[in-house]
Structure 1
Amino acid sequence: MNIAFFLLPKRDVVCLTPDTTLRQTLEKMEHHRFTSVPVLNEDGSYLGTITEGDLLWFLKNNIQITFENAHRHSLSEVPLRLQHQAVRIDATMEDLLKLVQTQNFVAVVDDTDRFIGIVRRSEVIDYCAKLILKDTPARI
C-alpha cells in the first residue's frame, strides 16, 4: 500500500508559520478543535508540529504573557517538546505505522523536503480495521 492513498493534501491542512502569533495559534486551534498543527517555513518546508502542550508549558514558564498580549509573541519563541517526524511520500507503510503510534498525524514531504500534506492516525486505523474485519469470519 502506498501512503499517498491516505494523504490529506496541503491545501486541506491548517498550517502555521514561525511568524504566526500565539493568539492566532490559539484561536485557530480552538476554532478547528485541533490539539496539534504543522509548522512550515516560508519556503514550505516542514519545521515541526506545535501542540497544546507546547503552548501550555510555554505560557506556564512565561507568566508575563497573557491572552491580551499574546499577539506580541510568535511561534518562533515556543520550544517544541517533541520532535514529530515526517515521512517522505515514498515511505513504506511500516514507517508510517511506527509514527502513527505516537503522533495524531504524520507530516508528509516530497523528495525536496517540502510539506505536501498529512496522514491522519484515524485514517490508518480505519484502514487496518477494515483489513482485520475482512479476514474475520462473521459471528451469528
Structure 2
Amino acid sequence: MNVAFYLTPKEEVVWIAEDSTMRQALEKMEYHRYSAMPLVNKEGKYAGTITEGDLLWSLKRSPELSFKDLEKIRIKDIPRYQKNEAVSINAQIEELIPLAVHQNFIPVVDDQQNFIGIVKRSTIINYLYQRLTAFASQGR
C-alpha cells in the first residue's frame, strides 16, 4: 500500500530548519521530548536528520563552548552520524520496514525532493500488526 495513506504531513511534524542554531535544536527537542528531528533547508527540501547524539558529540568535541555560544553554531555545520534515508511519496509501505529497524521515522519527499512529512515507526508496526492479525484470523 502507498505510504501516502500512512503519512504524517509536514504541518503536524516537529522539524527544524537547517539554518537554525544548536540552541534552538536543543530547546525544541527538549520541549517535544524527541531524540531526533528532520532538517529542512531554505528550499523546503529534506536535508537530513539531527539527533541528540549529533548534538552531544558536537558538544564533547568543543568543551570550551558555553550555553551562550550555542546561538552561533548552525545545525547545518554539525556533523551527523546517522543518515536517515527519505523515501518517495510513491513508495510502498512494505519498502519502509527495513528502514524502520534503524529509524524512528522515515522522511517522505515529493517528486521534487520537497519534504512533505514522515511515516512513524509506530505506524509501520501497527500496519504489520494488523496484517498479522488479519492473516491469523483467516486460520493460517
Which residue matches 1:45? 45
Aligned counterparts of 1:76 and 1:102: Cα–Cα separation in 2: 22
TM-score normalised by structure 1 residue count? 0.92
Which residue matches 2:5? 5
Aligned counterparts of 1:69 and 1:21: Cα–Cα separation in 2: 10
User: Following TM superposition, by how much is the alpha carbon of 1:18 offset from its aligned partner in structure 2, in angstroms?
Assistant: 2.0
Aligned counterparts of 2:135 and 2:101: Cα–Cα separation in 1: 23
Count of aligned residue pairs for this structure pair = 137
Aligned counterparts of 1:10 and 1:40: Cα–Cα separation in 2: 10
Aligned counterparts of 1:100 and 1:64: Cα–Cα separation in 2: 37
Aligned counterparts of 2:64 and 2:5: Cα–Cα separation in 1: 45
Q: Would the aligned equivalents of 2:93 and 2:124 in 1 still touch at CA under 8 Å? A: no
Aligned counterparts of 1:32 and 1:16: Cα–Cα separation in 2: 12
User: Following TM superposition, by how much is the alpha carbon of 1:121 offset from its aligned partner in structure 2, in angstroms?
Assistant: 0.3
Please give the residue correspondences for 1:32-111 in structure 2 after superposition, counting only pairs within 5 Å: 32-111=32-111
Report sequence identity in percent: 45
SS at structure 2 position matched to 1:112: coil
Aligned counterparts of 2:48 and 2:129: Cα–Cα separation in 1: 29
Which residue matches 1:129? 129
Q: Which moved more, 1:125-134 or 1:49-58?
A: 125-134
Runs of 4+ residues deviating >6 angstroms: none
User: Following TM superposition, by how much is the alpha carbon of 1:95 offset from its aligned partner in structure 2, in angstroms?
Assistant: 2.1
CA-based RMSD? 1.2
Aligned counterparts of 1:3 and 1:33: Cα–Cα separation in 2: 25
Which residue matches 1:117? 117
- Matched to 1:6, the amino acid is Y
Aligned counterparts of 2:115 and 2:58: Cα–Cα separation in 1: 26
- Matched to 1:47, the amino acid is A
TM-score normalised by structure 2 residue count? 0.92
